[in-house]
Structure 1
Amino acid sequence: MATWDVFKELDSLRRELDDAFSGAGFGRPFGPTFLSPVTARRFPLVNFSEDEGNFYVEAMVPGVDAKEIELSVLRNTLTISGERKPFAERRGQIVHRSELGSGRFSRTIELPVDIDPDRITANYKDGIMLVTMAKAEHAKPKKIDLIVS
């Protein structure tokens, strides 16, 4: 069974808040972000879940070519990075609103236990990427039979 580390979660939250407020008060309210000025949310947005044998990360990456997405695993972290191409303005076109961000992005997700790096799959369809990662055998719960004497 995976254990939940409240201090690890609080540290992760602190880092996210530090990133969101970096540069505040130095002539700019916030530094440039992938989705600015719309929001300073992390990109891509993800759902993270697990069952007895696997972790699942579902990431929304609309408008990003699958060839532009890079996945890497190191110990118990998954990193999703890539690049969304800028909006292509046409000659003579007047842009009234441009809210779709562009540029490089990177999102790292810490997993609560080790995974088996040889048993990872990733599928991409309609702007949604699903990464399935098998838990390492030593990280899976073991059933212990009780011997009655």
Structure 2
Amino acid sequence: MNRTNPFDEIEQFFGRAPFGGDRAWGRDLRTTDIDLAEYDDEFVVMADLPGYDREHISVRVSDGRLTITADRDAKREDTGRQYLRRERRHESISRSIDLPGRIADEDASATYRHGVLTVTLPKAADTEADGHRIDIA
């Protein structure tokens, strides 16, 4: 008996959709790829955010969870230009991950260079915090 995956047709549909599978029913489903590394005294999270301005990226840690959000708008210049295809548009992404251990929220830091956000989260032995917004350098 030859059984097929019932979700194959849905995946094929989105693969053929004019939006390339990035959108479903008008809802933006974009996220960002991340790496999470653990060292002796800290966790380091790296997120790919090419094309975003530092001012439009927000990083927050609360209750052992790191949340990264970013917004950008495609420039609407060259009004006289006739586009054959235009895919750059307003884009908003959000990514949250659970951290594998307790951190010292107030000592966390972030940098953004060449489209990569790097968040450094020092480990904490035993602290209680209400959450902390992390400024990006």
Global fold match (TM > 0.5) = yes
Residue 44 of structure 1 and its aligned partner are, at CA, apart by 2.0
Residues 32, 50 of structure 1: alpha-carbon distance in 2 compared, 3 angstrom cutoff = farther
Residue 89 of structure 1 and its aligned partner are, at CA, apart by 4.2
Find 2:103's aligned residue among 104, 115, 130. Answer: 115
Q: Does 1:47 align with 2:35?
A: yes
Q: Does 1:104 align with 2:98?
A: no
- Could you list the structure 1 runs, at least 4 aligned residues long, displaced by more than 6 angstroms after superposition: none
**CA deviation vs aligned residue, 1:21-70 (integer Å, no higher than 9, x gap):** 9xx9xxxx923344xxxxx5x52221111112111111111111100111
Give me the whole-angstrom Cα distance separating, in 1, the residues matched to 2:27 and 2:49. 16
Q: Does 1:129 align with 2:123?
A: no
Residues 48, 101 of structure 1: alpha-carbon distance in 2 compared, 3 angstrom cutoff = farther
Give me the whole-angstrom Cα distance separating, in 2, the residues matched to 1:129 and 1:116. 19
- Any gaps of 5 or more consecutive residues in structure 1? 1-20, 35-39, 140-149
Find 1:66's aligned residue among 43, 54, 64. Answer: 54
Residues 134, 32 of structure 1: alpha-carbon distance in 2 compared, 3 angstrom cutoff = farther
Give me the whole-angstrom Cα distance separating, in 2, the residues matched to 1:33 and 1:56. 31
Residue 95 of structure 1 and its aligned partner are, at CA, apart by 2.1
Residues 109, 124 of structure 1: alpha-carbon distance in 2 compared, 3 angstrom cutoff = same
Residues 103, 77 of structure 1: alpha-carbon distance in 2 compared, 3 angstrom cutoff = same
- Any gaps of 5 or more consecutive residues in structure 2? 1-10, 15-22, 128-137
Alignment partner, residue 11 of structure 1: none
* TM-score when normalising by structure 2: 0.66
Partner amino acid for 2:84? H
Find 1:88's aligned residue among 76, 97, 107. Answer: 76
Find 1:31's aligned residue among 25, 33, 54. Answer: 25
Residue 101 of structure 1 and its aligned partner are, at CA, apart by 5.0
Residues 57, 33 of structure 1: alpha-carbon distance in 2 compared, 3 angstrom cutoff = farther
Question: Equivalent residue of 1:118, what SS?
Answer: helix
CA RMSD in angstroms, aligned pairs only: 2.6
| Percent of aligned positions that are identical | 29
